[in-house]
Amino acid sequence: MASVGGGSKDTLTLNLYPMLDIFSILIVFLLMSYSTDPVSHDVNSGLELPDSVTMVTLDELPAIVVTKSELFVNDKKVADVVNGEIPRAQLGESFQGAIRPVYDELKRIADANKRIVAATLNDPAQVGKTGALTMEMDKGHPFKLMKRIMLSAQQAEFVTFKLVVTRIEN
């Protein structure tokens, strides 16, 4: 109010140092949380993860994402999900209950991985090694859907699954 009316020549100076302190602390905190998490992954908005007491942190981005209504393999939509089921028409030429489009996509990835491993490793024993997949799935989906996806992946030589959950305190 000091300068209002032009009568007084007093100027008010705002002390900005406390704000600077807060900013510094906030930046340090945010940068620290960046460096401690090996993988920073934003959960898909179309799904809710179940809670778990696991201490094992996420080490790679999910390859399979099953939202409430869609199924993605490496960000590519491969099937719809209706009431926790894959529509029969999209199952494809299914074998033992697997999902054909998921199998095809994973098989393509597995073959590409094998070619890369064969080109970089001299040990032929390592080439045929089975792979691991990270899977993120909505907590409301039934085991039947999970089983179908796991079976499709198993046929494509992925036998280890890292199931993504929300970490809570033990």
Partner 1 sequence: MRRKRKGIKRQDVTDIELNIIPFIDVFSMLNTFLLFSAVFVATGIIEVQVPFLSNAPQPKEEGQRTLEVKVDAAKDKLQVITEYSKEPRNEQKFDFPNTKEGMDRMHERLVAIRQANPTQDKLSFFSEDDVIWESISAILDAAKFRKQTDPVFSFKNEKTGAMEQDQQFVFPKIIMGSVIL
**Contact present, 69 and 140 (Cβ < 8 Å):** no
Binding status of residue 53 toward partner 1 by CB under 8 A = yes
Length of the chain: 170
Q: Which CB atom, from 23 or from 118, has the smaller least distance to partner 1?
A: 23
Binding status of residue 166 toward partner 1 by CB under 8 A = yes
**Contact present, 159 and 133 (Cβ < 8 Å):** no
Q: How far apart are CA 170 and CA 163, in angstroms?
A: 18
Coil, strand or helix: which one is 75?
A: coil
Query: Which part of the chain contacts partner 1 (CB under 8 A), choosing from 41-49, 73-81, 106-114, 116-124?
Result: 41-49
H or E segment to which residue 147 belongs: helix 143-155
Binding status of residue 87 toward partner 1 by CB under 8 A = no
Query: Which part of the chain contacts partner 1 (CB under 8 A), choosing from 4-12, 15-23, 72-80, 107-115?
Result: 15-23
Which has the closest alpha carbon to 102: 133, 79, 126, 125? 79
Residue 46 CB, nearest approach to partner 1 (Å): 15
Task: Please report, as ranges, the residues that interact with partner 1 according to CB under 8 A.
Answer: 16-17, 19-20, 23-24, 26-27, 30-31, 33-34, 37, 40-43, 49-59, 96, 130, 134, 137-144, 146-147, 150-151, 153-154, 159-167, 170
